[in-house]
Amino acid sequence: MSEEYEYDDEAEEYYAIRPNKTQIKKDMAALFALSEEMAELSAGQLKLLELPEIINKAVAEASGMPHKSARKRLLKFIAGQIHKIDAEPILEKLARIKNKSAHAVREHHAVERWRDRLIAEGNDALTALLDEQPQADRQLLRQLLRNAQKEAEAGKPPKSSRLLYRHLKELFQVEGELDDESDFEDEQETD
């Protein structure tokens, strides 16, 4: 009876495992979405991705096209080209670009809030700002604030308000750079 159940090595067959069609479709849909995201980037941001030349040209062309079928075909072509290379570095760089954009929006809103607070509250808000930003030019801030308040009362165009915004933005950018440098110095000391 044991002879009936003997294992025959020569009779073993191997089958090729076909990839899951659903997974392939999901992957291609994700790459298509990635190509759409890249088409929405500015030229400077696109340059940061360091894409292969054929993909870079196609994305630049797609960004200027109307949202119709020709653009969709081009985006499918881009997705197919990305499928041939490793998309992970592209995804990482795109995430960094988005993070920078989100940071810029937060910074913009913070500066706007300070400008509006300064115009509304006057010297009290200016004192709070100067306590937070001791390196700020007090005289220039007072002058810009006074002019912005006069323009707002007179209903004139907000020229000084814009100048105040620009000055505050520069002030907060300098602070951010100083924070980055101190973080770098702290890292150097711990090494």
Q: What's the whole-model pTM score? A: 0.51
**What's the pLDDT score for residue 176?**
56
**What's the pLDDT score for residue 132?**
87
**What's the pLDDT score for residue 6?**
59
Sign of torsion, CA 102 104 105 110?
positive
**What's the pLDDT score for residue 19?**
79
> What string of pLDDT tens digits covers the 191 residues of the chain?
455 555 555 666 677 777 788 988 999 999 999 999 999 988 888 888 889 999 999 999 998 889 889 999 999 999 999 999 988 988 888 888 888 878 888 888 888 999 998 888 888 888 888 888 888 888 988 998 899 888 888 888 888 889 888 888 888 876 655 454 444 444 445 44
Cα separation, 17 vs 24, in Å, equals 14
Question: Which DSSP symbol is given to 16?
Answer: P
Residue ranges per structural domain of the chain: 21-88, 99-178
**What's the pLDDT score for residue 7?**
58
What is the fold of 99-178? Diphtheria Toxin Repressor; domain 2 (1.10.60)
Tokens of 21: 């069609």
Residue 95: Cβ-neighbour burial (10 angstroms; 0-12, 13-18, 19+)? exposed
**What's the pLDDT score for residue 157?**
87
Cα separation, 83 vs 27, in Å, equals 9
Is residue 84 a contact partner of residue 136, using CB atoms and an 8 Å limit? Answer: no
Nearest to 115 by CA among 164, 154, 152, 158: 164
